[in-house]
Chain A
Amino acid sequence: MPDLLIELFSEEIPARMQTRAAQDLQKLVTNGLVEAGLTYASAAAFSTPRRLTLTVEGMLDASPAVVEERKGPKADAPQKAIDGFLRGAGVSRDDLEERDTPKGKILFAKINKPGRPASEIIAEVLEQTIRSFPWPKSMRWGSGSLKWVRPLHSILCILSAEDGAQVVPMNVDGITSGDITYGHRFLAPDAIKVNNFEDYEAKLTRANVVLRADARAETIWNDATNVAFASGMEVVEDAGLLAEVAGLVEWPVVLMGNIAEDFLGLPPEVLQTSMKEHQKFFSVRNPKTGRIERFITVANRTTTDEGATILAGNEKVLSARLADAKFFWENDLRVATSEDGMATWVKALENVTFHNKLGTQAELIERMAELAGELAPMVGAKKEEAMEAARVAKADLSSEMVYEFPELQGLMGSYYAKAAGMSDAVAAAAQEHYAPLGPSDDVPTAPVSVAVALAEKIDKLTGFWAIDEKPTGSKDPFALRRAALGVIRIFVENDVRISLMPFLYRIGEIQFLSDFVEHVDITTSVAKEAVFEAIMSGERIPKLKGKDADARFEFLTEWIEDRIGVESPFGDDNPNLVVDEQGERLDYDQAAHNLLSFLHDRLKVYLKDQGIRHDIIDACIAMPQNDDLTLLVKRARALSETLKTDDGENLIQGFKRANNILTQAEEADGVEYSYGADVKFAETDEERALFKALDAAEAIITPAMEKQDFTTAMSAMASLRGPIDAFFEAVQVNSENPTVRRNRLNLLSRIRATCTSVADLTKVDG
């Protein structure tokens, strides 16, 4: 049972690709071997910056011989066909066997496939693997055509058994396989001949290469925490950075350095980001001061001066980096605390395009401010404060620090807002209004932050909907799905109750105004720009509040007529009812409903992760006020909880049975049975019991529904399960007595009305 060792030795492989590449190497090679009949006992793969290594132990030394059966033509087929089959199968006429089948006598060939030596298979599989390796990005070099992540220099490929090792011969684009590897680039660069995996790993260790990435990471983390601890410090944990650094070195040596006193006053996030992004340094915190005062760098080697030169160099580089950061910080603070303060930055954003169809960043900010002002009272924030917060929330995009470190947007805004003397709530909103960025990111909870965060996302969604830039398939360049999920989570997790539709009508307004402008004669580009600015401004938002569709479009017509001094191209008709060339009514509110559906779809994804089924959500979406997402979720949760109980599940059966009978009868009779059933026509105990149960349930459900306490309402409904089941067990609805029948149908109607108060149960599966 020989063992296989493969090493692909190249120029430096990007750290972020190494782990995946080792896994891919293992998967591709072992799958290839097994497909060819070479089974094995165990396999493992490793990576360093310069090599991918695979060890496969306990392999077959050859693939087993197999007999393959192949079906040929009929026995009485023309000789030409039979000859062709013989040639293809590589057998002679005597080897064929005649068999009776339902389709007559058919010839079968038995083909003996001899086993193949392992080395032959390995060479084929490895070459195929190298040529089709799934690197995220690969390249050519020199005059060759082979692609690899960086130039590939050598292929080590040996089969080793107790009696020694043998090179598996192969040649890929001029690279010949061998049994040679190389040690550390600087500490032990010479060629090393290896016999098997143990020998390989041991010799590499002696040649200053730690083969295993997890061992390198462990060394780095242990040494880092120890050296920090010895100075009374602690390393700031960063698993991503640790994994990356472990992929940058073959022989990790941890060194701790100082951050010059000058820079300790910078915000800790700035220190951390600058050190991590540019230098791959770990931050080291002084637990007494809470400040980041030192750094850990990981060198790829030992030196005779014990790293003194390396550390001095790193400290110098860091000082230069931080000098830059400090320059930005001080310049920014100067602006933030100047007379005009952060307004200077907002002003500068007048020249920065947000999207060429959606205006500038400054216009975006103005819209956000108006929206935040509208939303503020609904989320418990002061209107003026929310508007101020929205106006400064994106100001830091003009700051020098954010230009240098875009990942610090928002955070810097909050520092600068504080420096400018704004309230803590306003400062916090600058940082928090981008949240949540991911599904596990916290949602803002402070009222002002909530208002601004919602304003940002609602403006984004409605804006992109208005210009028809919706996400399609896997394409979502403006991260609108994320924005939608953000809106949902902010509502639901803060228990915010807002009817969304009035905010979504903005889409139709933008489209209407754009159409208006299209249809009238505006000659100069300056005038066009003014109109565009008007369309994108936030000025209208408060004026449209609470108006119905007719009133809104009437207002908009007058507003735009005043604004550009041109009469409506749509005449005196209500513009919302204008008919286009094809005779279609232009319903400008269509897109708003479309966005609401999009939000509902996102809501389904969000609730599915919490174990609530799609059909349950559909049942709740079918109810009124479905643009209040929090209310919708309350319904869905109550329904979902109830359906988990035995009563709840069976209630659905009973309800559906009642509903089916009723619907059929209503269709057949052409009437709606909603006159109210009377207990005096009840003939059986079960019928009377159902009346009683409905009375009792409704006494609970009606007040519960008034309080929107769906859980109580649902559990009262579930209590009907017994009486409904018993009713159907004992009673034939379609009684021959028409009065009794009508009464029973009206009773079913009462079940339907009661059971659909929380959700439309007809849409629930089961």
Chain B
Amino acid sequence: MSKTPAKAVEKPRSFQSIILALQNYWASKGCAVLQPYDMEVGAGTFHPATTLRSLGTQPWAAAYVQPSRRPTDGRYGENPNRLQHYYQYQVLIKPSPPDLQELYLGSLEAIGINMDLHDIRFVEDDWESPTLGAWGLGWEVWCDGMEVSQFTYFQQVGGHDCHPVSGELTYGLERLAMYVLGVDHVMDMPFNDPDALIPLTYRDVFKQTEEEYARWNFDTANTDVLLRQFEEAEAHCKHILEQPPVDPKTGKRIIMVHPAYDQCIKASHMFNLLDARGVISVTERQAYIGRVRTLAKKCADAFVQTAAGGWSEDAA
């Protein structure tokens, strides 16, 4: 993967043109461009294309947009860049290529960041996800003092050492796009082209939902329901993984990792909602996180017993 010669990049004009530029760039670098996972997650890392695929020995290269929800970050759409629902762009390459930093910088050029005028820095930021039992070392990438990406070399996921190591890039799309487009408030950002027949801003698309969810997240969500759903998801996840590997109906070895992992994701989101409602104390917090981590670990254990996780009949 070599550095592309600097060429005049057309200045993007909208949020979506930046997303499209990233999709094209990473497609051109050989990544499989996947679609968002169809569940509520707190970050792109939760997508099975990252969490599960970073495990085991199989090579992997994927890039995708992931809508992410962080209920506690809701500000009724008033804060210039805090949202309870936002988009992450996620790239995962296993094994991490030696020129991953250069590839990453190339992606910034591809979305119109002039490398001659900006100050790009790699600032220590060790990544840890207590809920996923995962950690890695890397940086947050700063562009003129603003964090535009997370750059991580995964060392452990779901309690398993990563061999080989995956390189993970996460872009906070709204903030990055606001920066590139020179917009001060996220709601003012053009979502499609400002000269389109029906120009839409981020406000047109998301202001109302930010208000609705902020009210719901902070004050209205029924904590009894959330708590019950947390517990159901937890029990469900365990139940799925307790099934024997061989499906009695088809006679095939089918370990249901992904359905179980869906329940883990669900439990994690319920926890986030309970947290936003302010009903989880400091000590309970640790206990809840530990319960989600237990699920994530079980899923990781199961995944490495599947073909995608590097398991094979011969080796077993």
Please measure, in the bound complex, the distance between the C-alpha atom of A746 and the C-alpha atom of B144, giving whole angstroms. 86
User: Which chain B residues numbered 292 to 307 have a C-beta less than 8 Å away from chain A?
Assistant: none
What are the residues of chain B within 8 A of A316 when measuring CB–CB? 146, 179, 184
Q: CB-CB contacts of A311-355 with B at 8 A, as 1s and 0s?
A: 111101111100110010000000000000000000010011101
Which interface residue of A11, A12, A142, A303 has the most chain B CB atoms within 10 A?
A142
What are the residues of chain B within 8 A of A143 when measuring CB–CB? 95, 163-165
Q: Is A608 an interface residue (CB 8 A)?
A: no
What is the distance, in angstroms, from B93's C-beta to the closest C-beta of chain A?
Answer: 10
Q: Is A625 an interface residue (CB 8 A)?
A: no
User: Is A141 in contact with B119, judged by CB distance below 8 angstroms?
Assistant: no
Q: Closest A residue to B59 by CB, please name it.
A: A143
The 8 Å CB contact of B145, one of A12, A297, A352, is: A297
Number of residues of chain B lying within 8 A (CB) of chain A:
45
Q: Is A279 an interface residue (CB 8 A)?
A: yes
On whether A313 and B164 interact (CB within 8 A), knowing A15-B124, A142-B98, A356-B283, the answer reads no
What is the distance, in angstroms, from A337's C-beta to the closest C-beta of chain B?
Answer: 21
Please measure, in the bound complex, the distance between the C-alpha atom of A368 and the C-alpha atom of B157, giving whole angstroms. 43
User: Is B283 in contact with A304, judged by CB distance below 8 angstroms?
Assistant: no
User: Is B144 in contact with A300, judged by CB distance below 8 angstroms?
Assistant: no
User: Is A313 in contact with B144, judged by CB distance below 8 angstroms?
Assistant: yes
Q: Is A181 an interface residue (CB 8 A)?
A: no
Q: Closest B residue to A12 by CB, please name it.
A: B122
The 8 Å CB contact of A323, one of B80, B126, B279, is: B80
What are the residues of chain A within 8 A of B259 when measuring CB–CB? none
User: Is A139 in contact with B137, judged by CB distance below 8 angstroms?
Assistant: yes
Q: Is A367 an interface residue (CB 8 A)?
A: no
Q: Is A681 an interface residue (CB 8 A)?
A: no
User: Which chain A residues numbered 257 to 292 have a C-beta less than 8 Å away from chain B?
Assistant: 279-281
Number of residues of chain A lying within 8 A (CB) of chain B:
51
Q: CB-CB contacts of A85-102 with B at 8 A, as 1s and 0s?
A: 000000000000000000
User: Which chain B residues numbered 92 to 123 have a C-beta less than 8 Å away from chain A?
Assistant: 95-98, 101, 114-123
Please measure, in the bound complex, the distance between the C-alpha atom of A541 and the C-alpha atom of B2, giving whole angstroms. 73
User: Is A304 in contact with B117, judged by CB distance below 8 angstroms?
Assistant: yes
What are the residues of chain B within 8 A of A360 when measuring CB–CB? 281
What is the distance, in angstroms, from A450's C-beta to the closest C-beta of chain B?
Answer: 28
Please measure, in the bound complex, the distance between the C-alpha atom of A299 and the C-alpha atom of B179, giving whole angstroms. 17
Please measure, in the bound complex, the distance between the C-alpha atom of A186 and the C-alpha atom of B102, giving whole angstroms. 11
User: Is B281 in contact with A351, judged by CB distance below 8 angstroms?
Assistant: yes
User: Which chain B residues numbered 258 to 316 have a C-beta less than 8 Å away from chain A?
Assistant: 278-279, 281-284
What are the residues of chain B within 8 A of A381 when measuring CB–CB? none
Please measure, in the bound complex, the distance between the C-alpha atom of A305 and the C-alpha atom of B114, giving whole angstroms. 12
User: Is B124 in contact with A16, judged by CB distance below 8 angstroms?
Assistant: yes
What is the distance, in angstroms, from B95's C-beta to the closest C-beta of chain A?
Answer: 4
The 8 Å CB contact of B124, one of A14, A281, A318, A351, is: A14
What are the residues of chain A within 8 A of B56 when measuring CB–CB? none
What are the residues of chain A within 8 A of B114 when measuring CB–CB? 309
What are the residues of chain A within 8 A of B118 when measuring CB–CB? 303, 309-310, 313
What is the distance, in angstroms, from A355's C-beta to the closest C-beta of chain B?
Answer: 7
What are the residues of chain B within 8 A of A351 when measuring CB–CB? 278-279, 281
The 8 Å CB contact of B79, one of A141, A149, A280, A324, is: A324
What is the distance, in angstroms, from A321's C-beta to the closest C-beta of chain B?
Answer: 9
Q: Is B86 an interface residue (CB 8 A)?
A: no
What are the residues of chain A within 8 A of B116 when measuring CB–CB? 186, 303-304
The 8 Å CB contact of A141, one of B96, B144, B179, is: B96
User: Is B281 in contact with A352, judged by CB distance below 8 angstroms?
Assistant: yes
Please measure, in the bound complex, the distance between the C-alpha atom of A304 and the C-alpha atom of B117, giving whole angstroms. 7
Q: Closest A residue to B126 by CB, please name it.
A: A137
Q: Is B75 an interface residue (CB 8 A)?
A: yes
Q: Is B143 an interface residue (CB 8 A)?
A: yes
Which interface residue of A141, A151, A248 has the most chain B CB atoms within 10 A?
A141
What are the residues of chain B within 8 A of A299 when measuring CB–CB? 119
User: Is B137 in contact with A310, judged by CB distance below 8 angstroms?
Assistant: no
Q: Is A547 an interface residue (CB 8 A)?
A: no
What are the residues of chain A within 8 A of B126 when measuring CB–CB? 137
User: Is B144 in contact with A142, judged by CB distance below 8 angstroms?
Assistant: no
What are the residues of chain B within 8 A of A139 when measuring CB–CB? 136-137, 153, 155, 165
User: Is B137 in contact with A352, judged by CB distance below 8 angstroms?
Assistant: no
Please measure, in the bound complex, the distance between the C-alpha atom of A154 and the C-alpha atom of B48, giving whole angstroms. 35
Please measure, in the bound complex, the distance between the C-alpha atom of A138 and the C-alpha atom of B118, giving whole angstroms. 30
User: Is B281 in contact with A353, judged by CB distance below 8 angstroms?
Assistant: yes
Please measure, in the bound complex, the distance between the C-alpha atom of A182 and the C-alpha atom of B56, giving whole angstroms. 35
What are the residues of chain B within 8 A of A305 when measuring CB–CB? 117
User: Which chain B residues numbered 133 to 158 have a C-beta less than 8 Å away from chain A?
Assistant: 136-139, 143-146, 153, 155
Q: Is A489 an interface residue (CB 8 A)?
A: no
Q: CB-CB contacts of B76-88 with A at 8 A, as 1s and 0s?
A: 0001111000000
The 8 Å CB contact of B117, one of A138, A303, A356, is: A303
What are the residues of chain A within 8 A of B282 when measuring CB–CB? 352-353
User: Is A348 in contact with B184, judged by CB distance below 8 angstroms?
Assistant: no
Interchain residue pairs with CB less than 8 A apart (17): A12-B123, A14-B124, A49-B122, A139-B155, A141-B95, A151-B153, A186-B116, A301-B119, A304-B117, A305-B117, A309-B117, A310-B117, A310-B118, A310-B145, A313-B146, A317-B144, A351-B281
Additional pairs, 6, CB under 8 Å, beyond known A309-B117, A310-B144, A317-B144: A12-B124, A137-B126, A143-B165, A305-B117, A316-B179, A353-B283
| Residues in chain B within 8 A of chain A (CB atoms) | 75, 79-82, 95-98, 101, 114-124, 126, 136-139, 143-146, 153, 155, 162-165, 167, 179, 184, 278-279, 281-284
9 A-B pairs with least C-beta separation = A313-B144, A14-B124, A12-B122, A314-B145, A353-B283, A353-B281, A143-B164, A299-B119, A309-B117
